[in-house]
Amino acid sequence: MGPHPAVAAIRLAVRRVLHDVLTDLQRTSENAPPRPSRPPLPPQSPHEQAASPLVLVACSGGADSMALASALAFEAPKLGMRAGGITVDHGLQPGSDLRAAEVVVRLTALGLTPVESAAVDVGRDGGPEAAARDARYAALDAAAERHSAAAVLLGHTRDDQAETVLLGLARGSGIRSLSGMAATSGVAGRYRRPFLHLDRQTARKACMVQSLPVWDDPHNADPAYTRSRLRHEGLPALEKALGKGVVEALARTAQLSRDDADALDTWAAQAETTVRDATGLLECAKLYALPPAVRRRIVRRAAIDAGAPAGSLFARHIEEVDRLITGWRGQGAINLPGKVVAQRQGGRLVIRQG
């Protein structure tokens, strides 16, 4: 008799991602420049031989990440890979250090190694949720670098994807915001999200049938947080008004939007070289001739390159700068986040630190 359907589903999702990681590693190895010839080295001991690839799981102790950790522990050895784990202590709740220590014990009991807890200081930039996310990813990046991990698995589900799409819609930041979370992201595709096509209940069910203890973060039910309100009030209201299937439709919208956004980003990257003068400045007349979706991507990239934080750069900022190109009436400079200033000078769009 095979595993429970929920367990089978999460294992299959992880297996597919691990295969992708191995394929990417092989491609990287094949494209690496040849090493200079050297005299033969003496035989290496087992400890000196190159270790098999390491994949880490980011685990909070919740149902999604515990289900992911259990599937990684089961699948990685079958593919000749090592499985480790990391939990991040944000220090935002009393006893968070004890909770992180418990997660370390649970991951170790699953057979993961190395396993560690990383304590972080959460700032205030961008609000509490964004600040916690930034601190968490910084800790995960540091752990991946320290252990030379081939990938870090994240437990975001289809429900998380739907919430992300709705948050992007509320910001009005364009099609890229509607594309939600990518299945692969980060430096060299470091972060992998195997569960984006699985719902939250599947992960919880997998934990239950495997008797895996889980921790429900009280912040996930705290109405002070936007995502929590959306999860417990917004999405249920949408499903009541529109019927079941809203989450699936939003996740599908994310994928379609991502495909479109990727194509437009590629177009903008190619077009950017044609709209700069010999000194590298953007020429307004050439920008004006481009489709708005392409032009605004070039403007956004120029603002980010000048120092504007991507997370604080909204559609309204880009629209204001765009009017310097399409509705020029002698208006003054536009102030952007990060103390970046955009202004039109002699038919050129100049974006720089103010």
Q: Tell me, yes or no, whether 113 lies in a domain.
A: yes
Looking at per-residue pLDDT, the higher value among 298 and 315 belongs to 298
Last-in-domain residue among 248, 263, 289 = 248
Q: Is the pLDDT of residue 32 over 90?
A: no
Residue 39, domain member (yes or no):
no
Q: Rounded mean pLDDT of 310-332?
A: 91
Q: Based on the fold, state whether residues 195 and 79 are members of the same structural domain.
A: yes
CA pair distance 354, 337, nearest whole angstrom = 11
- Shared domain for 12 and 146, answered yes or no, is yes
- Please report which confidence band the pLDDT of residue 307 belongs to, taking 50, 70 and 90 as the band edges: very high
In a shared domain, residues 239 and 292? no
pLDDT value, residue 213: 93
Q: Which of 98-107, 172-181, 185-194, 298-307 has the lowest mean pLDDT?
A: 172-181
For 233, which DSSP code?
Answer: I
Q: Does residue 303 carry a pLDDT above 60?
A: yes
Known binding-site residue numbers: 60-65
Which token pair is 36?
């200079």
The pLDDT of residue 43 is 47
Phi and psi dihedrals of 132, rounded to 5?
A: -65, -40
Q: Check pLDDT > 70 for residue 274.
A: yes
111 shares a domain with 243? yes
Query: What does the alpha-carbon distance between residue 354 and residue 336 come to, in Å, rounded to a whole number?
Result: 9
* 281 shares a domain with 234: no
- Report the pLDDT averaged over residues 158-182: 86
Q: In what order do the strands lie in the sheet with 348-353?
A: 282-283, 348-353, 340-345, 334-336
pLDDT band at 255; cut points 50, 70, 90: very high
Residues 232 and 340 both lie in one domain: no
Count: domains in the chain? 2
- Percent of the chain exceeding pLDDT 70 equals 94
Q: Per-residue b/e over 308-333, b at no fewer than 16 CB within 10 Å?
A: beeeebebebbeebbebbeeeeeeee
**Mean pLDDT, the chain, whole residue set:** 90
From CA 227, how far away is CA 216, in angstroms rounded? 15
Both 122 and 188 in a single domain? yes
Task: Check: CB of residue 61 under 8 Å from CB of residue 106.
Answer: yes
Query: Residue 318 maps to which CATH number?
Result: 3.30.465
Per the domain annotation, does 322 fall within a domain?
A: yes
Give the CA distances from residue 219 to residues 129, 159, 186, in Å, rounded to whole numbers and listed in that order: 10, 17, 26
Distances (CA, A) of 301 to 47, 155, 193, 343: 46, 30, 26, 15
Cα-Cα-Cα-Cα dihedral sign, residues 232, 235, 239, 242? positive
Its sign, for the CA torsion 312, 226, 161, 260, is: negative
Calculate mean pLDDT across residues 105-120.
Answer: 95
Tell which of 228, 248, 268 closes a domain: 248
Range of weakest confidence among 14-23, 136-145, 225-234: 225-234
Mean pLDDT of 307-317: 87
Q: How far apart are CA 89 and CA 167, in angstroms?
A: 25
Residue 47: the pLDDT is 45
- Beta carbons of 83 and 72 less than 8 angstroms apart: yes
The residue range of the domain holding 330 is 276-353
Q: Which amino acid is at 99?
A: R
Instruction: Report residue 174's pLDDT band, with 50, 70 and 90 as the boundaries.
Output: confident
Q: Give the global pTM.
A: 0.82
Average pLDDT for residues 219-246, to the nearest whole number?
87
Confidence of residue 173 (pLDDT cuts 50, 70, 90): low
Q: Residue positions in the annotated binding site for ATP? A: 60-65
Q: Which residue has the higher pLDDT, 278 or 175?
A: 278
Mean pLDDT, range 263-268, rounded to an integer: 96
Which of 230, 248, 266 terminates a domain? The answer is 248
